[in-house]
Amino acid sequence: MDVKAAKALQLSALLQPEKIRSKPSGASSLSISREPHKKFLRVSVSVKLQPVRTSTIRRRVAPLEVTRSYENIPASTLESGTCHALLDEELILKSRSQEIDPYLNGRCIYLVGMMGSGKTTVGKIMAQVLGYSFCDSDALVEEEVGNSVADIFKHYGEAFFRDKETEVLHKLSLMRRFVISTGGGAVIRPINWKHMHKGVSVWLDVPLEALAQRIAAVGTNSRPLLHYEAGDAYTRALLKLSALFEERGDSYANANARVSLEKIAAKLGQRDVSKLSPTAIALEALEQIEVFLKEEDNNYAER
Ligand SMILES: Nc1ncnc2c1ncn2[C@@H]1O[C@H](COP(=O)(O)OP(=O)(O)O)[C@@H](O)[C@H]1O
Ligand SMILES: O=C(O)C1=C[C@@H](OP(=O)(O)O)[C@@H](O)[C@H](O)C1
């Protein structure tokens, strides 16, 4: 074991009671190994915590267990403390997911938002931490039609794609324990909301400039509505995204919870939303879901 790195990764520093509202049960382990070329580390951490009961819902409280392996971490990253932050986030995510689990009661989570808002990236993290399965409604349409989204738009048109999207959302509304990344345009049909309201919906609200940056970086091959023939990628994407948002902004606001990247950045004292990690966004999503679910629970109790 690398002693300097182990010191940098004191487990006690991870157990911040005010953040995770839990206390250690004593079971924790850490192993660190150095890759042969000496620059990279493999870190494996396992922490088991006994949560303190805070919710009003009666439930059995399971211990909180997080096991994470990080491959190819530069030793400098670990020693700088970045690793602490990653592991802290992991524990907080897990704690938050346990907090909302009994209120969710197996209902699916639907992520809505513009193209490139991070529904897939953030959704996978949420599914993992909640012990849910993840699925992407676009991928299900592609599977059913046997073509990529881009080819479906090209050969059959948008209306055909929208019908398939509605069919897929209907099927998903009969399922439990899924985090679903929906297509950016799924919000425009009221019938889709009828399906999505069977679960809990979350709007990932990302400033259009940040979206345009991401789209310009990955290209528009899989996003036919943003396709452009020529010109500056960022400007083209921003123009198209702005036009779409003009039509859809109100529909996204139908979601049960809203995750505003601008608000997260303000909370963290950051100026640039593009610096926010998908994990920090997933954490805010769980917090906003918790707010919605507790309000729903209170309204139910008052009736
Ligand atoms: N928080 C983030 N910071 C930086 N890039 C991100 C973030 N979230 C997603 N991305 C990147 O943006 C692109 C679109 O993300 P994706 O999850 O596919 O969005 P969506 O499913 O909403 O279309 C991907 O290349 C992804 O890696
Ligand atoms: O905004 C839209 O109308 C669309 C978004 C895409 O999904 P992502 O939001 O996952 O890119 C995909 O469903 C299709 O290209 C149409």
The number of the ligand 1 atom at minimal distance from the alpha carbon of 261 is: 1
Low-confidence residues in the chain, pLDDT < 50: 1-27, 52, 54-55, 58, 61
pLDDT of residue 161: 98
One-letter amino acid for residue 206 of the chain: V
Helix (H, G, I), strand (E, B) or coil at 292: helix
What ipTM was assigned to the predicted interfaces of this complex? Answer: 0.98
CA of 50 to the centre of ligand 2 (A): 41
pLDDT of residue 221: 82
Q: Within 10 A of 135 (CB to CB), how many other CB atoms are there?
A: 20
pLDDT of residue 219: 86
Burial-class residue 148 by CB neighbours within 10 Å (0-12, 13-18, 19+).
Answer: middle
Distance CA 144, CA 136 (A): 13
Paired residues of 49 in beta bridges: 24, 64
What residue segments make up the domains of the chain, in order of their start?
3-91, 105-302
Helix 137-145 × helix 158-172 angle, to 10°? 110
Please report which ligand is nearest the Cα atom of 142: 2
CA of 186 to the centre of ligand 2 (A): 8
Nearest CA owner, ligand 1 atom 17:
118
Stated as kind and residue range, the H or E segment containing 23 is strand 22-34
Tokens of 47: 């922490």
Q: What is the pLDDT of residues 176-222, one digit of tens each?
A: 999 999 999 999 999 999 999 999 999 999 999 999 999 999 888 88
Distance CA 261, CA 282 (A): 11
* Domain covering 105-302, topology: Rossmann fold (3.40.50)
pLDDT of residue 186: 98
Helix (H, G, I), strand (E, B) or coil at 287: helix
Distance CA 46, CA 111 (A): 30
Q: What's the pTM?
A: 0.81
Please report which ligand is nearest the Cα atom of 158: 2
Query: Of 75, 85, 80, whose CA–CA distance to 43 is shortest?
Result: 75
